[in-house]
Structure 1
Amino acid sequence: MADSGKTSREAAPAAKVDLKKSLDSYQAKRGEFRTLDVPDMQYLMIDGHGDPNVSPEYVAALAALYPVAYKMKFSSKRELARDYVVPPLEGLWWAADMESFTVGRDKSQWDWTMMLMVPEWLDRAAFQNAVALVDEKDAPERLADVRFETLSEGTCVQTLHVGSYDDEAPVLAEMHDDVIPARGFVMRGIHHEIYFSDPRKVAPERMRTLLRQPVEPASFA
């Protein structure tokens, strides 16, 4: 038998972690509204305003966010021997007049924070190192706007929407007007979306988006 060059004592490479599959807070089903306690999670974040479909600001935001996320991933794999799939893009969305978001869908009035979750074993030093590496060559225009923060949401109601982003309104109306009050809650915090599908590769009617709303007991409001 030929010598493979490996001994029986060599450790197999660690499996790549896919956090969207292993974390309960990323689980949702179409037509089902879950109430759950979402743990504090750390993110790369960047802010902006306006319609993401036509806004150069939105394009520039993602162009700054992803290089930092991938530098952190590669550093984790190389230095800590912990590899992972970069989690899906997420967004916090709001407007001065929330009806322009939930009913009118006037995207020109929307404010947003786009986010990529960072595994709990990476810290601010890892973030700062990643930013420095990205800055060494062809730094994105908005690199200085990327920040590393913890998001605390607590009790939330969430569901899975299957379809185009423009078809979310009825699902949001059911969540906000029926489900949340029926469970004795009121809304607080900011509407949160998690994008499981790449719109460049998936037809609009098949896109999967987790819709989340932080809540609190109505008696506390």
Structure 2
Amino acid sequence: MTTKYDVKRELKTCYSPKNTDWELVDIPELRFLAIDGYGDPNTAAGYRHAVEALYAVAYTAKFASKGDLGKDFVVGPLEGLWWADDMDDFLARLKDNWRWRLLINVPDWITGDMIEDAKQAALTKKKMPAIPDVRSETLHEGTSAQVLHIGPYDDETPILTRLHREYLPANNLRETGLHHEIYLSDPRRTDPAKLRTILRQPVGAGDGDGS
């Protein structure tokens, strides 16, 4: 029996870290299903619709891959890139001003054409309004600071503040990409104190003056 591809098993450094303080890792080029949106993830209907659409397309692509190619995979965890026009709004948790790009990793053999076919099949079956907005995206973050956060999402502020005000300056690093979160726990079934979230920030060399 062919083993299912599972990104959490294949890329443990990226998807199964143990460190609870910031460490540098190298993230390879990865393929995703992606969808963009705006607003508070707790209250914006668009966020819920985006999550539903991503999973509908991901599972449709999975079953098509298994049936047509004989290749199966475990649907990856939900991920998100997060930012705001004013990044102070992001650190201050002013969620109505947040922008987001939700992601689900898919194997390299899932082509753009397969994703488009999966979208059409999922839309025919599910009638979800956000399915047409799902797209294929390739992301290569490279060198990144990464940490495993355990606890409620709203308790991320101290560890993110440490990243930006202490860790990056101390190591002469600067941000080179968007704040990235990977949700290893289902918030509907997990005690908030036990939520496991990977926090990731792509980085590059700073200006060299140590300031």
Q: Describe how 1:148-187 pairs up with structure 2 within 5 A.
A: 148-187=136-175
Of all paired residues, the percent bearing the same amino acid is 44
Distance in 2 separating the partners of 1:200 and 1:138: 22
Give the counterpart of 1:205 among 188, 193, 211.
Answer: 193
Residue among 184, 190, 206 paired with 1:196: 184
Matched residue SS, 1:65: helix
Residue of 26, 42, 64 corresponding to 1:53: 42
Residue 9 of structure 2: aligned partner: 21
Contact 1:90 1:194 in 2 (8 A): yes
Residue 122 of structure 2 aligns to a residue in which SS? Answer: helix
Match of 1:116 in 2: 104
Work out which of the residue numbers 108, 114, 127 in structure 1 matches 2:115.
127
Correspondent of 2:78 among 81, 89, 105: 89
Q: Aligned equivalents of 2:3 and 2:31: distance in 1? A: 22
Q: For 1:197 and 1:185, how far apart are their aligned partners in 2?
A: 30
Which letter maps to 2:81?
Answer: L
Structure 2 residue runs of 5 or longer lacking an equivalent are none
**Could you tell me how far apart the structure 2 residues matched to 1:88 and 1:162 are?**
16
1:21 positional shift: 2.3
For residues 180 and 21 of structure 1, the distance between their equivalents in structure 2, rounded to whole angstroms, comes to 29
Question: 2-side partners of 1:57 and 1:26: how far apart?
Answer: 26
In 1, Cα distance between the equivalents of 2:15 and 2:155? 21
d(CA) in 2 for partners of 1:210, 1:138: 30
Q: What SS does the aligned partner of 1:161 have?
A: strand
TM-score w.r.t. the length of structure 2 is 0.93
RMSD of aligned alpha carbons: 1.5
Q: CA deviation at 1:130?
A: 0.6
**Match of residue 105 from structure 1:** 93
* Contact 2:5-2:107 within 8 A present in 1 as well: no
8 A contact 2:180–2:201 mirrored in 1: yes
Q: 8 Å contact 2:172–2:208 — kept in the other structure? A: no
**Count of matched residue pairs:** 208
Q: Which runs of 5+ in 1 are unaligned?
A: 1-12
Report the CA distance between 1:177 and its aligned residue: 1.4
Higher Cα Rg, which structure = 1
TM-aligned CA distance change 1:121 to 1:220, over 3 Å: farther
Instruction: Write the distance in 2 (CA, Å) between the matches of 1:202 and 1:30.
Output: 21
